Structures are given as structure tokens and as C-alpha cells.
Structure 1
């Protein structure tokens, strides 16, 4: 409760400003005697009829059953009173509780049925928080869309929830599920024999679509009609005969039927199978290839969104790609489970798979490509990840090197065979500016082909406008998005549901860590007190300069130096992250370590990364935000973060992912370490708390370290004297505000900054715009008089520039006069 409730003389409720939730003079907030306790006693004497009239006008209590008359406590707790819900007799053995008001689901992860319940809940709901013992999920329209897309029926969802829930599923939840699934997944767009068909198991839905003036006019008459209603009828697709590479035939695919059988029971599942014969046929009608986008848009408008599937086994037009997993390659159970959601009915569904960093997202994409066996294009975020994807394809599968082409700013290759693989970046494909001859030649090659499969790596970081250009430029039948953090700070993550498809699978980070598939990480937040000199300037400087001051805090520098020294002695490989390029260079040069940022040449990047992985003398590297995503450093066991992008949850999780890959050393509880260095009593502490929200929801706990024992006695400790700290402070203050800026890239968190900077550059370079005569900046008279080691300097423009504005005759006369 946000404030205490008191009962006044007018027999009504009013709210005071005390945020503690109970009176200041209350000795014991639970059992103590106080005026609040008396207030509630008096209020309970209020007639039930009057309370019922007040409650009936509240929209947030609309989920209450008819005839329910709450007492005064119900009014105090508003929508959080569920005392009217009756527990089932065997509620102790059921793991779920479902909130009738907002679709929240609470799961007891210690229940014997928890594992089966988790598989089901990940399919129908969005994970909100999954710590050790209690998990929280939320049913949304998008999550139900994803559930229907993998084959779950409305009745199945409600039946399983009723079986697992401690209380009967509320009517409000049932109505929401029915309304959200009534049209989702009922219409599919399927490519068979290079002809597009609108398909549905219910003929009446297709008849309704054909009566629509837009869709009906785009229908193509088919010669092989097998029903009197003008539709083509065929047997529903099944997975029969399709074996995902890396798995053994006969292994449990953990598809929808398996989940349903696990939570409902084998007997109930067998009874359901008896009724399946009535629904083993699908109906369809054909549309022309040119009208696909129009039909998809129209179906979206009439609330029948189209689900895209690719019948790759019956695609005779596009040549097969000679690719398969090597016999030694075996995928893990959770990877197999994610792929079974994609290929559950023998076709390729477009969608998104969410796996933690280091859990093998790349191998999932490679296995999907080996299953479809058509031409593949892979899009990444950077040129470094392009080379790593190429190397991973050659390592895990049998594709020949000549069939793999790379399209970056340095390499512009094309495969020579009928089918092949291309690895590129989003920016190379989505670029709309003038291209070089070689680049345009490769783009023509990409756009003129029909691609069977497109893999979109780190799909969450791509701005929506760029992604739309990619989707419209590259014609691909099936799309798979891979990511570890399906979050964006601009709340545009929902766009991906329609640009790619629904979320097919999301893994549990803590579960994978317990099973040894990813590293067990100790997370810590190190509080670094600001020195008196730096904090004095911090309080008086502008916001951007403040950022530079708390990043360059000498105590933070010493903590970084101590942690590097400590973990190098343990034999760890250390990555230090800094978003601020100036701080990155200062830290790295002072400590004598290699560093990579946006301006580092590609060849130098590869040399530094290879030395870090294989050279025992290079145990620490400094990275800017170019290392946040798609850089594979399996040897890294320790990560230190000295500056970050404000409150970005995504960046925190992506950086943790650099050390999440399973480690060889398992001789201790924690085998990887994540340190976030934060300057105390600054804005950085607020941002740090926001950044940790996503990882805390995944089950990670951050340990707060207020003092590093032994740091003061470290040999050659930097900035140990007051003189060194003052010199550093003067150097920081002399830097302009550009040095306090963050490195900008094409991701979700930077999109707003990139737009502002791009607009500014466009305005400066626009035709006919003159350069500003003066630039206005905030300053002080002390700095102008040299009080802060600054001096006033006047600059005179070149006289030749003035001559250009005069008539040629005047210029000639002026030149002669000057010569004399």
C-alpha cells in the first residue's frame, strides 16, 4: 500500500501521505494495539450493502464472481484480495497459482511437477522472474499467439492450467485465452512447390476470407480441387520421417503432444488422440506470388494474422544445399527442445529462439540450416561475428569452404554453386547509400535469389526501420531470430512478433547453469568511493562531465587494477568493458593492456582476440561496446565493467554472456566472476540498479563489496598519491564534453542517440548552410583568466577565404596591393 488508510467522521476513507503502510505510533506493525487497529474495527461495522455499492463501481474488481460482497479489508487491498478463491482439496500437490486480475502465474519450482509445468508455461506465457524457488510468468496476447503457433489448442491450454492450478481458473482468464486464440494461428501461409497457399484446418474461416473483397480478388484458381466448396483439401502435415540432425531417431522431441501428456496424464492424452481423426485434414486456396504482402496485411487488419510456414521438403524449385552436421556433433537436450518447436509439424516455422549467451545459439541456427538444406543467409551485428559464424559452420557441419561466402566491407564474395551460404551484417544489407561496384554486384546477387532460410543473430539489437529493410530486401521462406535478451529499452520488442514471428522457445538460465551447460557466475557490485577532489568537481559540473568524473574516479581505477592483478594470479582470463572510449584508452594504456574499440582495424581486432585466447602472456583485454554481442571468447572467466550505457538491462546481460560459456574448471562453486565497478553517491548507482533488473529476474544475486582487502598494499598502485590524483583531475577537466560521450552503435539502446547525432551531422552538412561563426559553451571567468590552467586564445581566419566572396577584379586588385 502506498499510504495508510484512516476512517474519519464522514464515514468514508481518506489516504494520508505516510508511505510506511502503518501508523508512526504503532509499536508492532502486525500485532500492536493502535488507532489503526481500532479504525479497522469500527470500519467493519459498516453495512455490507454500502461496501458492495462502492466496490461495484471499481473497474479493477471486475473479475470478482457475481454476488461476492467483500469486507473493508478487500477495499484496502484493491485488486490484490483473492480470498474468495477456493483452494482445491489437493492443492499442495499442484504447482500453480493464477491471478484472475492480470494473468500472472506463480509457479513453485520445488514441486515434483515443476519441470513439466515449466515446459508448458514457457510455451503459453512470458517469463517475468525466475529465482530459485518461486517463478513468475504472465499470460499475454503475444505469448498465446506463440502457443497457438506451435500447435496448442484453446481447450488444451485451459485444461492443462486447470489441472496444474491450486484454484479453479477464473472466468476472466478463460475469456482472455479464448478471445486471444480465437483467430491466432488459424490461418497459415505455406509455400508448396513454389506456389503460395492460404491454409487452415477450418474450412469456414477460408470461406470467410474468400468473401473479403480484397482477398477474394487475389485468389488463383487451382486445377486440383478436392472438395465441393472450392477449396483444396489435403492431409494435415506431420513430423513423420523428419529427423533433426544431431539427434537420434526415436528420441523424444518434446513437442506439444509430449508436454500435454506429461502434465495431463497418459490416459487423458490417449483419450484426446481418439478425436484427432476429425481434424487431420487441412483446407487451402492458392494466391499469386505478387499478392503475398497484400494478403498478409489484409489478414492482419481483420484480426486473422497469418502464420508463415515453409514446406521445405516439398520445395522442388530451389536446389538443395549439400550440408549436414558432422557425425561427431551432438546437440544438447534444450537445443533439441527449441528446434522441435520450430519443426514440430515437419515444416519450418518462422520465429525467435531465446537462449542464454554461451548456451549454443550458433549451433541451433546451424542445425536448423542443416535440417532445411536450402540456400542460407546469416546476418550478424559486426564483421567479427561474421568471421566467427563462418568458422562455426565449417567446424560443426560438412559444408565445403567454397560454398561459404562472406559479405563485409573487407570481403565481397559470392558462391559459385547452385546453392550456398552467405554470412553478412545488417548494415551491409540495409545500406541505402551509394555502393561500390563490387558491393552492388554482391547485393544484386543476394536480391535476385530465392533464399530458403535466413538466420538473424542478436535480433533484439536491430532497429525496426533497418530490420524492415532487411526483410523486404532479402526474399527468404523461413526466418529464425536468435537472441539471449529479448528486451529493449525503447519498448519496441513487440515489433519482432510480426517482423519475424512468435517466440518459439526460451530457456531457463539457472537451470542450464545447474546442469553445467553454462558457467556458474558470481556477480558482484563493487562500491568505489569518490575521492574528495573528484567529488567536489562532480557536484559543480554539467551532466556529461559528471559522467567522465565518476568513470575516471581514481578509486575505481585502483579497484580495477587490484581485481586484474588478483585474477591474473589465479590464472583467469579477464575482459574489462568500458563504453567511454577515452576512459577505455586511459585505463588500458596506464595498465599496459591491449584494447579494442570501434576505430580498431579489423585485422588488429582478430590478432588481439587470438592472442587473448591462445597466448598465456595476454590474459587481460579492454573492450568497448563493440564486444557486447557476437564475440566468442570461451576462455574468458572474469569480467570487469568500469562504464556502461546508462540503465541498459540488455547490455548487462550481454556482457555477462561473454563469460557464460561452460568452463573446463569445475573445482569450485563459482567458476566465473562478474564485477561491476560503481562510484558511490553518484548517478551511476541508480543506473547500476536498473541494469541489474534483468539478471535478477533470471535468478542471479549481486553481492555488494564495499572494500577490497589488500588493495592499498598493492605494488605500483596507480594514483596512490594526492599529486597524481590532482593531475588526473586536471586532465579530465581539460577534456571537452565529447570525451564524456559513449561509443554509439546500431542497437536498441543507441537508436535515439544515433538519430540525434545523425540529424546534427545532416544539418551541418546540408547544402547552402554556412559554418557557425561562434560556438557558445558554458564556462567561468576563472577559467578565462587562467585560474584553471586555461588560456584565452584568438584565432584569425585565412584571408584567402574572404577573397572568395568578392568579384574577380577586386580579388586581383587586392592581390596586387598585397604584393607591393
Structure 2
């Protein structure tokens, strides 16, 4: 192949792929590589993808042949693809499926291995070997049912991810349908990408369907995908969420948009311990124990009902104990929902093996261009400190310096100025430190919600915000996740958790619901000058610009 100027891809020998968004065939190239290439960053002109083992194995798990991946790269390459990339892609791609889990005849599982040398290798592997049962043939091992998840984890570590075709148990029946008109009287239908996501998860009941992760931006309606999966399966469902607020949001959406009734939906939380055809629980209650030496009291919830589906909302937050119990639940269908597969603990591989491969992913900017989520302008305001506070910062211990910078008192003046500038809009103020948030609450006429705010009071304030009775809320870290305030269009971040990309994505997502007037959401971050807060802000800034968001820097004059 020679130089093709209309093509959009530049494929490099380090397995990165650059996409020129201005090339005539850019859109076709993006669609062609999206199933098997991991989007790393997408600023204005050149998007960067990476061909990683997990991205390739995700595509193989979805049924994409390696030959199709190679062809997609070759067809859209501006310059000839390095031969080593095609060879490495072939080698990685062929590893998926060399080990296969199937159902045995006696109620156990079978591990089928592609050939005898690999069987010998795996039998001697320090993590895989102890999980293998009787060797039934040169390439077949019996596997205990309880080892299904642990074996998949071990095989991924060994570099030979298993194709799991062992199937699923059928849960108790749960008849439900999605409504064409919500109970509140609004027309309702799934958006095309929501329906596609649910279809790709279920895959018409095929053996490789029924487990996996859907990645959609905040505000894109991941809850609707979960409800669509429930409507397809028609089986008892356990829904795990990140907070009690999220529990109530799921309950509200299920009652508004499905044929389910209130007595069919139960809450399992710190406040009540009920189960039903649909049970909503929090990760916090499942991982509660009185002390470090005690057992987890509520993990038995997973066995209390014959679940046909377990939905893991905000799957990127899944705590380690839930990973462990999920390893034992591989016979249940599992759906993970998230806005980002970024895990600060690096356990993306466990999500792949225990929840399932990525079934659907769509970039934020694509949905923004279609009007399904709002455009967003990101502004960082850099604020000086007083000389006295600069001295306090300079002489403080390294760990305390961040807090001194984050709680810069001059940020209160900037908050006041931004509120005056954005008067008439629906505003959220989010921060890390309670003393700072309390000081802001004393300055402005917005209520403050923290972890100590009772759930009824939170629900009341959220409802007041949705109805327009109040125009702003101040939130501690409780505002990071699963907050359904669709009219919010301005967010002021007064302090953050170091350089967390995950937190930045979630906080921005609070204002990404599409606006009726088409206005862009405004996302402000306040940062103290000449401090470590600037360094951490650069990490967050880089993440946002890599996602394609417009980012401006302003300097505050005292």
C-alpha cells in the first residue's frame, strides 16, 4: 500500500494509532477502529488510540475476528502499517479463545485448552494450576463451579483470557415492559444508542452474551440501558449503586418508565433491609462490617433471591469485597454501567473478567454532536494567596500543603463573582473540604449537602432544585456520583481530590444533560497560584482536553 492522503490513520510501531479528524475519511476510520482500539485522548485535531491487550480481547469477546481488525487498520491507513503491528495484533488476538469454559455434563465446568503444550504450561502456572481439577483429556480439565471467576482472573494474568461459554442460570420470572408514555405523561422511547447498547449486552441470548460493560457519558442515560436489559430478560434483578440517592433515582425511573409497581421494588440499605423482584442496594451496605476482623454482614444478599440479572451501576467504583463475591457469581448475568473504565486502582482487568468485556462505548463528543448531551466549556481560574498564607504554605508539611492551597480564602470572592456572572442559571458548587464549603454556604444563599445530611433532607433539596424552587446547591464529595439534576448547567469546583481523572469526569457529568436552550454547560475549577494545586490541576486539565473539551485559563487579580 502507498500513501493515501484521504485516509485518516497514522499507525505507529508502538501500537498507537493517530486519527486526523480533518481527513476526508475520518468518520469512517473512527467507526472502523472503535471496536478494538482504546481511545486515549481526543483534542481538537488529532485523536490518539492505543491497541492494548484488553482492547483487543474486548473486541474478540464481542466476536470480532483479528483479520477484520487488521483490515480496518490497513484500509484506513494514510501510510503503510508497520508489519510488527499487524503481527502483534495477530498474536494478541489469537490468544483469546485458546482457553474456553463450557458447561460439563455433571453440573461442573470444563476448561478446554487449544493444544497440549498450552495445557502443560497452564497446569504448571502458579496461579492457574491450583484451580484446575481432574485432567479429563490432554486438553481438558474439570473445574469446580466456585472457581469460575477465579480461574478467569488467573488466565487473564497468564495472558490467555478465557472465552466463557458456560452459560447462565435462569432467575425467577419478572414480567415488565417499558412504557411508551411515562407515568408523568411524557412520551418515552429508547435513544438509538441505548437500544444498541442493550442489544449488544444481551446478544439475542447467545452464549457469549449476557455479561459485559456499557460505557456511556454522564447524562447519556445509562439507567435506560439497564431498564432495557431488564425488559429483555424478564427476570429478577439486583441493582447495586454508589449511594442511597442513586437508589432513589433508580426507583423513581423504574416507576416512571416501566410497568413495575412500587411493591415490586425493594430497598436494601442502611435504612431498611428488604428484598423483592427488583432490589436496589448500595455498595456501602454490602461492604459494611463492624470491624476489620469481622465478616461482611450483607454479602449474603447475592444468594437471597434467584437473581437473573445483577446490574453494577458506576462499575468503576466497585469495591474489592464486591469483586470477590462477584468471582463466585459467574452463573448470573452481569451488566456493568459506567461513564469511564478508568479505575484509580488499575483493576480494569478484573472488570473485564468478572463483570464482562466492554460491549458498547461511545465518545462524549459524538453524543454531544448529536445533541444527546450538552456541550461544555471548562474554565480554570488561578487565584493568588495572601503573603501570610503563602508563608503558611511554604513552611507546612508536604501532605498539608495541598489542603492549604485548596482552602484559599480568596476562592470565596471568586465564587461570589462567578455566581453574579452566572445569575439566572442552575448552579452546583462542589468541594472536598467541609470547612471551606460551610464558609461558602455562609456567604451565599445555597443549601449545603454533606455526608451527614439525612437522606430525606437530601431528597427534599434535590427535589427543590429540580422544581426550580432553589437555584443552587453546595455539595461535598456526595455530589460526585449518580446525581440526577438535569437542569444544572453551571458547576464550580472549589477543590478536588488531587489529580483524579475519574473524579473530574464524574463532576463534569453533573452538568452534561442537554439544555432546552442549547446553551453550553459551564465548568469552573478554582486553583491557587504557585502551589501544588496547580500541578494536580494540570493532570485534570490534560484529561479534559484529551477528551476534546474546550479549556480556558483565567488569572484572578486581587
TM over 0.5: yes
The 3 A distance-change label for structure 1 pair 194 and 525 is farther
The 3 A distance-change label for structure 1 pair 536 and 319 is closer
Describe the superposition over 1:666-715 as per-residue Cα deviations: whole angstroms up to 9, x where unpaired: 2xxx431111111222222111111222211110121112248xxx9xxx
- 1:333 corresponding residue in structure 2: 192
Greater length-normalized contact order (CA 8 Å, ≥ 6 residues apart) = 2
Describe the superposition over 1:367-403 as per-residue Cα deviations: whole angstroms up to 9, x where unpaired: 1222222221111111111111121222222223222
1:421 aligns with 2:282: no
The 3 A distance-change label for structure 1 pair 595 and 467 is same
Determine if contact 2:381/2:525 at 8 Å carries over to the other structure: yes
1:135 aligns with 2:52: no
- 1:457 corresponding residue in structure 2: 313
Shift of 1:638: 0.5
- 2:126 corresponding residue in structure 1: none
Q: Distance in 2 between matches of 1:683 and 1:212?
A: 47
1:553 aligns with 2:402: no
Shift of 1:597: 0.9
Instruction: Find the structure with the greater CA-based Rg.
Output: 1
Q: Structure 1 residues 691-700 or 167-176, which shifts more?
A: 167-176
The 3 A distance-change label for structure 1 pair 217 and 470 is closer
Which secondary structure state, in structure 2, belongs to the residue aligned with residue 93 of structure 1? Answer: coil
- 1:722 corresponding residue in structure 2: none
- 1:632 corresponding residue in structure 2: 484
The 3 A distance-change label for structure 1 pair 107 and 398 is same
**Aligned Cα root-mean-square deviation (Å):** 3.3
Q: Distance in 1 between matches of 2:205 and 2:193?
A: 19
Determine if contact 1:354/1:486 at 8 Å carries over to the other structure: yes
Q: Distance in 1 between matches of 2:433 and 2:455?
A: 20
Shift of 1:132: 3.0
Shift of 1:575: 0.4
| 1:383 aligned to which of 244, 247, 251 | 244
Describe the superposition over 1:461-492 as per-residue Cα deviations: whole angstroms up to 9, x where unpaired: 234x2332341465652222211122233434
| 1:706 aligned to which of 551, 555, 558 | 555
Q: Distance in 2 between matches of 1:533 and 1:596?
A: 31
- 1:105 corresponding residue in structure 2: 17
How do 1:464-483 and structure 2 match up within 5 A?
465-472=320-327, 477-483=332-338
- 1:364 corresponding residue in structure 2: 225
- 2:2 corresponding residue in structure 1: 88
How do 1:738-757 and structure 2 match up within 5 A?
none
Unaligned runs of 5+ in 1: 1-86, 220-228, 232-283, 713-820
Determine if contact 1:453/1:476 at 8 Å carries over to the other structure: no
Q: Distance in 2 between matches of 1:450 and 1:563?
A: 52
| 1:174 aligned to which of 80, 86, 98 | 86
- 1:621 corresponding residue in structure 2: 473
1:676 aligns with 2:525: yes
The 3 A distance-change label for structure 1 pair 99 and 461 is same
| 1:652 aligned to which of 504, 521, 545 | 504
Determine if contact 1:450/1:476 at 8 Å carries over to the other structure: no
Which secondary structure state, in structure 1, belongs to the residue aligned with residue 412 of structure 2? Answer: helix
Q: Distance in 1 between matches of 2:270 and 2:488?
A: 28
Which secondary structure state, in structure 2, belongs to the residue aligned with residue 343 of structure 1? Answer: helix
Determine if contact 2:153/2:350 at 8 Å carries over to the other structure: no
Shift of 1:299: 5.0
Determine if contact 1:454/1:476 at 8 Å carries over to the other structure: no
Q: What is the aligned residue count?
A: 540
How do 1:550-629 and structure 2 match up within 5 A?
550-568=405-423, 571-616=424-469, 618-629=470-481
| 2:234 aligned to which of 368, 373, 397 | 373
Query: TM-score scaled by structure 1?
Result: 0.61
Q: Distance in 2 between matches of 1:120 and 1:676?
A: 36
Determine if contact 1:311/1:346 at 8 Å carries over to the other structure: no
Determine if contact 2:416/2:444 at 8 Å carries over to the other structure: yes
